[in-house]
Amino acid sequence: MLYILLLIGNIFSLISPIFLKIPLQTKTSERIYMDLFAKFENQLGPIGDNADQVPGYFSFPKLEGDIANRMKFQGKECIVWSLNNYLGLANHPEVRKADADGAAEYGLAYPMGARMMSGNSNKHIQLERELADFVSKPDAMLLNYGYQGMVSAIDNLVTRHDVIVYDAESHACILDGVRLHAGKRFVFKHNDVEDCEKQLVRAKKLADANGGGILVITEGVFGMSGNQGKVKEIIGLKDKYEFRLFVDDAHGFGTMGKTGAGIGEEQDCMEGIDLYFSTFAKSMASIGGFIAGEVKILKFLRYNMRSQVFAKSLPMPLVIGNLKRLELLRSKPELKERLWHNVRRLQSGLREQGFDIGQTNTPVTPVFLHGNHDLFETTQLIYDLRENYGIFCSVVMYPVIPKGQLMLRLIPTAVHTDEDIDITLAAFTDVREKLNTKAYPKEFPPIKGEAVTSATV
Ligand SMILES: Cc1ncc(COP(=O)(O)O)c(C=O)c1O
């Protein structure tokens, strides 16, 4: 179950302390002694609470073989729907060659040190220039990881006088960045522009009183529901409330817009996005990320963002590999076309078969299975899909979605085939029938656990 719950991380990151039970206390002669580690005994927190249910299967599964539409899971071939390899670049021969050449020439160490101190190179600068041009911003700065970069950028952009307004379904990196903020923050209902405006009214009053500004943060494409963020509509509120907009477009970069430049291009509103962020972990199938925006803001971030100033810069093979990925992303529109062919085929097939796939208007494809489904059914369903239909996908359940419901999340990519989609549609129809007729046994499936870490199971 851990695997299922991993997807819930962004919500749990805020509420997890509530779930941890009160630690054991030991009374010594005069005072109560509490071992810090006692609270971890027999409990792994909300995500890990079911870790002993077949580790290596639901949690920490190992997908083996080249990253592709089909990979091996526990020795059997599966159609894989859970990797954000949108454009299929992970195993593209030119990408593999660039990665290998970069590693052969530079090793993993170069350049040593933080970017500002001793970790700079012409290739880092070149990648930043090309990224800025691609997303039509004056400047861009590389990040050594997307998550840390986003947290740290938010931390840097605001002081206690400023106010943050953000979407309720924001990714953990946004929530954690907001948690560092010493001033006020207001959350608006997911993708609800009216509620966003309500929060802006409160934020403006406060910011004006404090002599601060307002930072609005949202996502270009929400990774669970597949909803596009209402970026253009939020930009429409700028004149009235005078805020700056920071957009995390992790799932939109490479997938949305005519050229793949992301949500700003898709909604024709790139100018209104003050800071544009993407990770390299999705369409680029790599590591790292970037923020693009005005020169003076990025100059400030370059000298102040703690996750960059106090951490090593991106190793050269990653920079070289990312330059190649960006080149392919720009020069091979057929990759995005193939992705969207698959998105349309999968999503229209699911809709035709009566599945509820929510409001997605992006490649992220949720499949909601309504009913009163419990943990046994959920694990049986995943087991059945993997063992009997050769389908590997992610499952999301309560509390991310209402109790009793299940959500399967599919990520189509450019390397999936029509046959993969047809097999999956037929399998989903079968398992829905089994769920509806309560055909799954009320017990955990008979799976053997296997080692998931260096500590054996
Ligand atoms: C919306 C969003 N933002 C940021 C990140 C973090 O990116 P990274 O994996 O580069 O740390 C992710 C996940 O990869 C994400 O889905």
Where residue 393 sits, what CATH number does that domain have? 3.90.1150.10
State in Å: Cα 308 to ligand 1 middle: 16
| Same domain, residue pair 311 and 289 | yes
Confidence (pLDDT) at 15: 37
| Same domain, residue pair 183 and 235 | yes
Using the predicted structure, report yes or no on whether residue 21 has a pLDDT greater than 50: no
**446 in any annotated domain:** no
**371 in any annotated domain:** yes
Give residue-wise pLDDT tens across range 189-211. 999 999 999 999 999 999 999 99
**443 in any annotated domain:** no
pLDDT-derived band at 242, boundaries 50, 70, 90: very high
Report whether residue 289 contacts ligand 1, using a CB cutoff of 6 Å: yes
Confidence (pLDDT) at 57: 86
| Same domain, residue pair 380 and 326 | no
Q: Which of 173, 251, 284, 308 to mutate to test the pocket of ligand 1 (most atoms within 8 A of CB)?
A: 173
| Same domain, residue pair 268 and 233 | yes
pLDDT-above-90 percentage for the chain: 79
The DSSP bridge pattern shows strands 289-293 and 275-279 to be antiparallel
| Same domain, residue pair 187 and 320 | yes
Q: Which of 85, 144, 145, 147 to mutate to test the pocket of ligand 1 (most atoms within 8 A of CB)?
A: 147
Q: What is the pTM of this model?
A: 0.92
Using the predicted structure, report yes or no on whether residue 291 has a pLDDT greater than 50: yes
**453 in any annotated domain:** no
Give residue-wise pLDDT tens across range 381-437. 999 999 999 999 988 877 777 788 889 999 999 999 999 999 999 999 999 999 999
Confidence (pLDDT) at 375: 83
Domain boundary among 272, 298, 331: 331
| Same domain, residue pair 323 and 341 | no
CB atoms within 10 A of CB 131: 25
Using the predicted structure, report yes or no on whether residue 378 has a pLDDT greater than 90: no
Confidence (pLDDT) at 27: 57
| Same domain, residue pair 133 and 57 | no
Give the count of domains, the chain: 2
| Same domain, residue pair 347 and 369 | yes
Structure tokens at 426: 């037929």
- Residue 284 domain boundaries: 93-331
| Same domain, residue pair 320 and 339 | no
H/E/C letters for each residue in 313-366? CCCHHHHHHHHHHHHHHHHCHHHHHHHHHHHHHHHHHHHHCCCECCCCCCCCEE
Half-sphere exposure of 188 (CA within 13 A, CB side): 25
Q: What is the DSSP letter of 90?
A: G
State in Å: Cα 104 to ligand 1 middle: 28
**454 in any annotated domain:** no
Confidence (pLDDT) at 7: 46
Burial of 448 (0-12, 13-18, 19+ CB in 10 A): exposed
Mean pLDDT of 283-300: 98
Report whether residue 283 contacts ligand 1, using a CB cutoff of 6 Å: no
| Same domain, residue pair 307 and 222 | yes
| Same domain, residue pair 126 and 269 | yes
**457 in any annotated domain:** no
Report whether residue 286 contacts ligand 1, using a CB cutoff of 6 Å: no
Confidence (pLDDT) at 418: 98
From the CA of 149, give the closest atom in ligand 1. Answer: 11
| Same domain, residue pair 178 and 287 | yes
The CATH number for 158's domain is 3.40.640.10
Using the predicted structure, report yes or no on whether residue 122 has a pLDDT greater than 80: yes
When computed from its CA atoms, the radius of gyration of the chain, rounded to whole angstroms, is 23
Structure tokens at 128: 């930043």
**141 in any annotated domain:** yes
